[in-house]
């Protein structure tokens, strides 16, 4: 399996499509928002990129669910597992492409996730507590357990662990099969370069009709749900509600995306600390990737001999 990662606006999809064409592969999206139908411009689906010189590249896990529903990493693992098996069965190499690091890490590190349903009563009781208060509750529940950074880095995950503890059958889990023959390629830009790419892409999305897309979604799924679906939808919603001006919206949104990009890179560094090797490339993305992938395939063949 080939995995393409990088911060937002780094060019992952463009590279993945070119590699899929070269190696007769199929792409599995690892983007937590592109799974939702109707979130097109704001999530940068750019589906036209999957057509290369009149050839259509097969892709998966894009436009599979209504934004009115919620899609979890547990569901991603289930869907990924089936798609991965089908691609391998057809003697092709899957290319996983996306910036949702937790999705990618979940399949590379053999994570297990509970199928326990959400408990809205517990969530409402805990939503106003601080992360430290939630962590103290967890320590009372699990006095001898060492929690990883990934498990406790957000309030949502802390609440979920408490929710699981309070469920009657906390042993319901989904076991993801281990994948060991994988290669991770990371796209790296300078900070100035990625900032410029983010700003250019945001302006392009506004020209393509991002505000109209958000307005349409507000009318169908409402503000509260849209607020959960990413920075673009959050800040444009505030603008449409008259809470901020257009200029403020643009400035705040650019800043927020820049900060998100830094968080993505921080998460990728934690992946490396968990012994996931990332082959970082900084230029000539396609040719550099081809050289790395060809070496990877050669090593696999040599192990078979």
Same domain? 157 vs 46: no
Same domain? 48 vs 96: yes
Task: Please state the pTM of the whole predicted model.
Answer: 0.81
- Name the least confident of 110-114, 121-125, 147-151, 173-177: 173-177
Domains: count for the chain = 2
Tell me the average pLDDT across 15-28.
97
For 244, the domain range is 2-115+172-304
Tell me the average pLDDT across 123-142.
87
Domain boundary among 133, 151, 171: 171
Report the CATH number that the domain containing residue 294 is assigned in CATH: 3.40.50.300
Tell me the average pLDDT across 172-193.
79
Same domain? 122 vs 76: no
Sign of the dihedral defined by the CA atoms of residues 146, 148, 152, 153, in that order = positive
- Residue 156's pLDDT band, with cuts at 50, 70 and 90, is confident
Q: What is the pLDDT of residues 251-279, one digit of tens each?
A: 999 999 999 999 999 999 989 988 899 99
Per-residue model confidence (pLDDT) at position 141? 76
Say if residue 37's pLDDT is above 90.
Answer: yes
Same domain? 50 vs 178: yes
Same domain? 145 vs 292: no
Q: Which residues contact 26 (CB under 8 A, 6 or more apart)?
A: 20, 57, 58, 59, 60, 87, 92, 94, 95
Tell me the average pLDDT across 215-230.
92
């Amino acid at each position: 399996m080939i995995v393409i990662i990088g911060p937002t606006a780094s060019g992952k999809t463009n590279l993945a499509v070119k590699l899929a064409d070269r190696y007769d592969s199929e792409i599995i999206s690892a983007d937590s928002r592109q799974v939702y139908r109707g979130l097109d411009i704001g999530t940068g689906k750019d589906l036209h990129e999957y057509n290369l010189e009149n050839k259509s590249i097969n892709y998966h896990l894009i436009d599979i669910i209504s934004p009115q529903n919620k899609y979890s990493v547990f569901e991603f693992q289930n869907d990924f597992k089936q798609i991965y098996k089908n691609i391998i069965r057809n003697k092709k190499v899957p290319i996983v492409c996306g910036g949702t690091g937790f999705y990618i890490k979940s399949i590379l590190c053999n994570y297990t996730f509970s199928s326990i349903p959400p408990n809205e009563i517990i969530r409402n009781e805990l939503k106003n507590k601080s992360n430290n208060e939630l962590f103290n509750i967890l320590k009372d529940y699990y006095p001898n357990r060492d929690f990883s950074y990934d498990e406790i880095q957000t309030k949502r995950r802390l609440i979920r662990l408490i929710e699981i503890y309070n469920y009657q059958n906390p042993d319901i889990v989904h076991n993801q099969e281990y994948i060991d023959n994988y290669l991770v390629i990371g796209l790296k830009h300078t900070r100035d370069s990625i900032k410029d790419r983010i700003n250019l892409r945001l302006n392009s999305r506004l020209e393509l009709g991002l505000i109209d897309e958000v307005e349409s979604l507000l009318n169908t799924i409402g503000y509260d749900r849209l607020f959960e679906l990413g920075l673009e939808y959050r800040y444009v919603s505030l603008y449409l509600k008259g809470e901020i001006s257009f200029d403020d919206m643009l400035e705040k949104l650019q800043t927020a995306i820049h900060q998100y990009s830094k968080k993505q890179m921080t998460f990728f560094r934690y992946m490396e600390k968990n012994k996931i090797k990332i082959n970082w490339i900084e230029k000539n993305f396609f040719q550099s990737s081809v050289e790395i992938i060809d070496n990877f395939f050669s090593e696999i063949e040599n192990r078979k001999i």
